[in-house]
Amino acid sequence: MKHLNCFARQMVSVVALAVLVLTGWPPLGHAQPAQPAGIEPQAEKVLRRMSDYLAGRQQFTVKAESMLEAVLTSGQRLQYDSPATLSVSRPNKLHAHRKGDLANQEFFYDGKSLTLYSPRANVYATTAAPATLDETLDFAREKLDVIAPAGELLYTNAAEKMLKESTSGFVVGPSVVGGVKTTHLAFRAGEVDWQIWIEDGDKPLPRKFIISSKKVTGEPEFTVIMRNWDVAPKFTDQEFNFKAPKGAKKVEFLRLTSEPAKSK
């Protein structure tokens, strides 16, 4: 999974300040499922059902909570929370706001341009962006080192991307996340392990998502819990258009490559 592996590499760069981890250990004696070889058909089926359902929602909003845990050189862990709200209008609009202990940022994509705004510093950066959300998510990650909250799940072919480099996957079993009955899945890839909890019933929405890096000391994790889904919101274009606040200073994105964005 190129996009998940990219996230793992980002975690390596963050470790000097804070590496992401949230760890929960089952009680002693708790039976653990055996890890099968390859990807179980049922695990793939549940994941693809979620992916297809979310891709079929033309508009939706979700409130999410991400947990980041700094791993100090001593091995001690410090946890940081970062609530986020996300609004999507397919095929080419996104507004995300992440406000927490380590980050306070807004992410705007209106089909033509991508803007990242930092309210604390009152600065923003804007660049031309590709014509679709899928392309813009790739562009933001690969060229600007910017990742939207839970961005892995927003692609129209999310399951395909997430399974591409996975070597194994299985159904862990039933679970409850925030009072919602879900099915817990676990997968392994080259650089990361990842888990996802998908709501049971006729709305197979993702409710929890964890990425664990296997290439960083301590195998840090990034956790997102998704609550308050609305799959039929009413939007106006104003939701996705950035208007610079009074006194805001425009800065340039620090690009990972010199290749310019192509606006269609």
**Helix 2-14 × helix 133-144 angle, to 10°:** 40
Contact 145, 11 (CB under 8 A): no
Give the model's pLDDT for residue 67. 87
**Given the structure tokens 């996230």, which residue do they identify?**
7
Query: How is residue 151 annotated by DSSP?
Result: G
- Average pLDDT in the 28-50 region? 78
Q: Report the distance separating Cα 1 and Cα 214, nearest Å.
A: 14
Residue from 66, 153, 114 nearest 260 by CA: 114
CB neighbours (10 Å) of residue 87? 18
Q: Which band of pLDDT confidence, cut at 50, 70 and 90, is reported for residue 27?
A: very low
- Average pLDDT in the 15-30 region? 32
Query: How is residue 18 annotated by DSSP?
Result: -
Residue from 258, 178, 192 nearest 225 by CA: 178
| pLDDT tens, residue by residue, 93-133 | 999 999 887 778 999 999 999 999 999 999 999 999 999 99
| pLDDT tens, residue by residue, 50-91 | 999 999 999 999 999 988 777 788 878 788 888 999 999 999
Q: Which band of pLDDT confidence, cut at 50, 70 and 90, is reported for residue 150?
A: confident
Q: E strands along the chain, which residues?
A: 38-39, 59-71, 77-89, 93-99, 104-109, 113-118, 123-128, 166-177, 180-189, 192-199, 206-213, 221-230, 249-251
Q: Report the distance separating Cα 127 and Cα 253, nearest Å.
A: 8
Q: Report the distance separating Cα 161 and Cα 165, nearest Å.
A: 8
Of residues 12 and 125, the one with the higher pLDDT is: 125
- Sign of the CA dihedral running 45, 46, 49, 51: negative
Q: Per-residue pLDDT for 234 more than 80? A: yes
> pTM for this one?
0.82
Q: Report the distance separating Cα 115 and Cα 117, nearest Å.
A: 6
Burial class (CB in 10 A: 0-12, 13-18, 19+), 9: middle
For residue 249, give the amino acid letter.
K
Contact 96, 147 (CB under 8 A): no
Determine which helix (DSSP H) or strand (DSSP E) holds 17, and give its type and residue range: none
Q: Which band of pLDDT confidence, cut at 50, 70 and 90, is reported for residue 165?
A: confident
Q: Per-residue pLDDT for 201 more than 60? A: yes
Give the model's pLDDT for residue 1. 55
Give the model's pLDDT for residue 19. 27
Q: Report the distance separating Cα 60 and Cα 40, nearest Å.
A: 30
Query: Domain segments of the chain: what residues?
Result: 2-12+38-251
Select from 3.30.420.40, 1.20.120.1200, 3.40.225.10, 2.50.20.10 the CATH code of 2-12+38-251: 2.50.20.10
Mean per-residue pLDDT of the chain: 84
